Amino acid sequence: MKLLIPQEKLKKGLNIVEKISSKSLTLPILNNILISAKKNFLNLSATDLEIGVNWWVLGKIEKEGELTIPAKLLFNFINLLPDKNVSLESKGNNLIIECDNYNTQVKGLSAEEFPIIPKITEGESITINSDSFCQNLIQVVDIAVPSATRPEISGVYFLFQKNLITIAATDSFRLGEKKVFLKSKTSLEKDYSLILPQKTVKEIVNIFGEKKGDLRIYFSSNQIMFECYMEETPHPEIQVVSRLIEGEYPNYQEIIPKKYTTQAILNKNDFLNQVKTASLFSGKINEIKFKIDSKKNKINIFSESSEVGKHESSILAKIKGDPIQISFNHRFLLDGLMTIKSSEIILELNGDSGPGVIKSVGDETYLYVVMPIKGN
C-alpha cells in the first residue's frame, strides 16, 4: 500500500472512525483502524463488533493494499501533523508515515485478522434528511438506560412506516416519544419495528448530526445500515452498520394517557429553574411536591429535607380541570423539561397517581411521560 492524502482530510476521517474502535484487551485488533487503499479511494474502518464504520475519501493511490494501525495513536499522531500532504506506505506490518519533516514508523497488525464489517446490500431502504433526523434522536436517546434484566429497554425503539418514523425510549419510570412525519411518502412496502443499541444512536448523532444532505437507512432482519454520500457522487462517504437488539419492545402506547384530569400551560425556563431550586431541598428520594390550584392559576412547589431545610416557590400557569397535589422525582422532571425545545410547556396530569405528560406548546410530535411518586 502506498498513497498520498492531505492531513486535513485524513484527520477528518480518523475523527469519525476512531470513536468506534474499542478498547478491547481480549481482541487487540479491535483497537486498530483498518486502512485500505483500492482504486482511487482510501478507506478507513473500525468496529467494536456491535457497530462498524467505514469512511472513504479520494486519494492519490500509488499502490493498493491494506493494514491495521492502533486507532488512538494514529488519531493523536495525525492530529499533530502540519496541514500538508501525508504519505502512507506499508512495509510488512509497519506503516511508514511521512509529512513535511516528520518521518515515522508505526507498528500495526495484519489486515487479515480484522473482522469483516457487514454491509446490507439487499432489502428495502429509505432516504431522509441527515441533520434533522439526528435532532430528533437527541430528544429521546438519553432516556434509555442500560438494563441487564431487560435488554430491550436499554435500546431506542424505532418504527419506520411509509410516511412516519416513531422513536421512543424508556427506563420504565419515564418515556419519551418522538414522531417524525415525512414530507414525501417513502417506498417502504412494510413497516420496520426495531430496537437500536443506545450507543449506536449516540454515534449516529455524532457522525451524521452536522451533515447536511441525505441519509440513507437500509433494513435487514438483524442489522441496520446508515449511509451518506460524497458530494455530488453516488459513492458512499460514511457507512455505519449496527446490530439490532433482539426482543419485543414493551407496548408503551398503553401507558400514554389519552386524556387528563388537570392541565397546566406554563413557561418552561421559569418552571425548570424552580424545579432545580426545589431539588436542593428534596432529600434522599428526590421528591418535590406540587399543589396545582386551578382557581388561582398558580402552581406551588414544595420540598423539604430534615437535614437541609425547606423550600417553597410558586409559578403562574393557565390551569384547566381539577385542583391536585402531586409529587415527582425531580430528576425525571428535569430530564423531561430539558428535552423540550419550546418556551411554553403543557403539563397534563391524571390524578395524583396516574402518569403525567409533558409536551411542547405548538409541537404535537413529542411527548414525555413521567410517573408520579405515589402515596402522599
| Interface residues toward a second copy, by CB under 8 A | 70, 73, 76-77, 80-82, 94, 101-107, 273-274, 276-277, 280-281, 307-315
Smallest distance from a second copy to CB 107, Å: 5
Smallest distance from a second copy to CB 81, Å: 7
Please give the Cα distance from 28 to 32 (Å, whole number): 7
Residue number with CB closer to a second copy (41 or 77): 77
Smallest distance from a second copy to CB 298, Å: 9
Smallest distance from a second copy to CB 108, Å: 9
Residue number with CB closer to a second copy (112 or 307): 307
Residue number with CB closer to a second copy (219 or 281): 281
Residue number with CB closer to a second copy (58 or 106): 106
Smallest distance from a second copy to CB 137, Å: 30
Within 10 angstroms of residue 110's Cβ, the number of other Cβ atoms is: 12
Smallest distance from a second copy to CB 90, Å: 13
Smallest distance from a second copy to CB 74, Å: 10
Residue number with CB closer to a second copy (135 or 314): 314
Smallest distance from a second copy to CB 219, Å: 41
Secondary structure, 3-state, the chain? CEEEEEHHHHHHHHHHHCCCCCCCCCCHHHHEEEEEEECCEEEEEEECCCEEEEEEEECEEEECEEEEEEHHHHHHHHHHCCCCEEEEEEECCEEEEEECCEEEEEECECHHHCCCCCCCCCCCEEEEEHHHHHHHHHHHHCCCCCCCCCHHHHEEEEEEECCEEEEEEECCCEEEEEEEECCCCCCCCCCEEEEEEHHHHHHHHHHHCCCCCEEEEEECCCEEEEEEECCCCCCEEEEEEEECCCCCCCCHHHHCCCCCCEEEEEEHHHHHHHHHHHHCCCCCCCEEEEEEECCCCEEEEEEEECCCEEEEEEEECEEEECCEEEEEEHHHHHHHHHCCCCCEEEEEECCCCCCEEEEECCEEEEEEEECCCCCC
Bridge partners of residue 69, in order along the sequence: 33
The Cβ-side half-sphere exposure at 248, using a 13 Å CA radius, reads: 3
Note whether 116 and 30 are within 8 A (CB).
Answer: no
Residue number with CB closer to a second copy (16 or 95): 95
Residue number with CB closer to a second copy (208 or 281): 281
Please give the Cα distance from 181 to 370 (Å, whole number): 24
Residue number with CB closer to a second copy (312 or 344): 312
What are 12's three cell numbers?
477528518
Smallest distance from a second copy to CB 354, Å: 28
What are 354's three cell numbers?
396516574
Residue number with CB closer to a second copy (34 or 241): 34
Nearest by Cα to 163 from 133, 179, 183 = 183
Residue number with CB closer to a second copy (313 or 365): 313
Smallest distance from a second copy to CB 306, Å: 9
